């Protein structure tokens, strides 16, 4: 449990003690003041209890690599794009969380780069366990906050929250009721995310070649992988289509949205050209059944069985959100959002770490 939760629990006991000890009656004699303080203290007690119960922020998954690691948070501006969510003509900005190994003996330009894209309503911290594990094995991992798709982010010291219209689109989209609307949404969402990922990759490659006094010098621009959860995995698959230097992609329960080329009646049409790079799909109990029932997952069905360099892994007993660190930071919320799960959240995260590390080691080392 996080340190701040221990502080909250200590405060909780103090407040409860204040409400029940007889001394309070002597200190506060006026009835109205006493009632006001009682109500205020009770509200705080309820708030603290909910916070501790809903967000215990359980301990991190222990890394297995030989390297210590650290992180940096970058704010990047893509001067080639105008931010469509703003009206002042300003350029697209985003926050990027970077985990990387910290060891003076690491040779420059020797670490593979992994760029990660979070799920539909999430943040760049969605899969911290995976970032740390990869960094401990000598990878540089860059996780993007897709501004206005991220639940919240911070740019220029300003909090930016998720876009309301985007949330509305996510909630109302149903490819079985209005497939044309779904296709339009997919095109719009994937364009924003793949542009973000491509910009980050381009920036990191350029910095790796020209900077010699930061983590950029660690990056081997010839060994690049992409990964993501849900919509983020869909975008990662799309970028793998676009860039020949991508060697490996991991999609955590993601439909191949970028492979959708149009609509034919009640079905999508697909780009069925083989992938140049290796692909690993990871599914939970939430997404695995959709492969045979949901028209967004037709390409996943096509790739269900190992076809050359495309494979999959199904984690039974997990749900869509246990594939992320939400199962560690808030197990209750994870169950409420994704349904129950039987497999330990820690076991699921460890398994994802193991499978991802083995996969990237095979194709990026």
Q: What is the pLDDT of residues 331-341, one digit of tens each?
A: 888 898 988 89
- The residue whose two tokens read 């490819």 is 175
Q: 20 or 114: which carries more pLDDT confidence?
A: 114
> What's the average model confidence in pLDDT over 184-206?
98
Question: Count of CB atoms within 10 A of residue 123's CB?
Answer: 19
150-161 per-residue burial string, b: 16 or more CB within 10 A, e: under 16: bbebeeeeeebe
For residue 86, name the pLDDT band (cuts at 50, 70, 90).
confident
User: How many degrees, rounded to 5, is the angle at CA 327 between CA 311 and CA 1?
Assistant: 140
DSSP single-letter state for residue 275: P
pTM of the model: 0.87
Which tokens in the block code for residue 114?
């992994």
pLDDT given at position 4: 53
Confirm if 205 and 243 have CB atoms less than 8 A apart.
no
Q: Is the pLDDT of residue 318 over 90?
A: yes
CATH architecture of 68-364: 3-Layer(aba) Sandwich (3.40)
Q: What is the pLDDT of residues 146-190, one digit of tens each?
A: 999 999 999 999 999 999 999 999 999 999 999 999 999 999 999
Q: Which two tokens stand for residue 325?
A: 């660190």
Q: How large a percentage of the chain has pLDDT more than 90? A: 74
**What pLDDT is recorded for position 22?**
47
Q: Residues 82-93: what's their mean pLDDT?
A: 92
Would the pLDDT of 213 be above 70?
yes
Average the pLDDT over 301-323 and give the result. 89
So what's the pLDDT on residue 87?
86
Per-residue pLDDT band at 346 (split at 50, 70, 90): very high
Q: Residue 140 — very low, low, confident or very high, per pLDDT cuts 50/70/90? A: very high
Reported as a pLDDT band with limits 50, 70 and 90, residue 23 is: very low
């Amino acid at each position: 449990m996080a340190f701040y939760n221990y502080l909250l629990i200590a405060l909780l006991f103090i407040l409860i003690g204040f409400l029940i000890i007889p001394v309070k009656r002597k200190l506060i004699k006026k009835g109205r003041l006493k009632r006001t303080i009682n109500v205020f203290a009770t509200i705080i007690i309820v708030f603290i209890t909910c916070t501790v119960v809903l967000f215990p922020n359980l301990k991190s998954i222990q890394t297995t690599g030989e390297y210590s690691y650290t992180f940096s948070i970058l704010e990047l501006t893509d001067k080639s794009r105008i931010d469509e969510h703003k009206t002042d003509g300003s350029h697209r900005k985003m926050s990027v969380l970077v985990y990387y190994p910290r060891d003076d003996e690491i040779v420059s330009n020797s670490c593979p780069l992994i760029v990660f894209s979070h799920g539909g309503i999430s943040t760049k911290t969605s899969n911290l366990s995976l970032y740390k594990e990869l960094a401990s094995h000598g990878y540089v991992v860059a996780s993007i906050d897709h501004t206005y798709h991220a639940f919240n982010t911070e740019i220029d010291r300003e909090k930016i929250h998720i876009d309301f219209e985007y949330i509305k689109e996510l909630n109302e989209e149903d490819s079985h009721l209005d497939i044309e609307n779904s296709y339009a949404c997919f095109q719009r969402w994937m364009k924003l995310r793949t542009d973000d990922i491509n910009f980050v990759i381009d920036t990191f490659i350029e910095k790796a070649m020209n900077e010699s006094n930061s983590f950029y010098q660690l990056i081997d621009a010839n060994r690049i992988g992409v990964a993501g959860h849900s919509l983020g995995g869909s975008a990662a698959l799309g970028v793998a289509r676009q860039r020949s230097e991508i060697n490996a992609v991991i999609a955590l329960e993601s439909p191949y949205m970028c492979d959708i080329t149009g609509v034919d009646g009640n079905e999508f049409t697909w780009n069925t050209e083989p992938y140049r790079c290796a692909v690993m799909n990871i599914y939970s109990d939430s997404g695995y059944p959709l492969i045979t029932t949901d028209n967004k997952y037709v390409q996943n069905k096509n790739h269900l069985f190992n076809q050359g360099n495309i494979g999959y892994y199904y984690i039974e007993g997990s749900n869509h959100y246990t594939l992320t660190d939400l199962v560690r930071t808030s197990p209750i919320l994870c169950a409420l959002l994704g349904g129950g799960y039987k497999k330990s959240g820690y076991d699921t995260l460890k398994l994802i770490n193991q499978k991802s590390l083995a996969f990237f080691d095979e194709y990026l080392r």
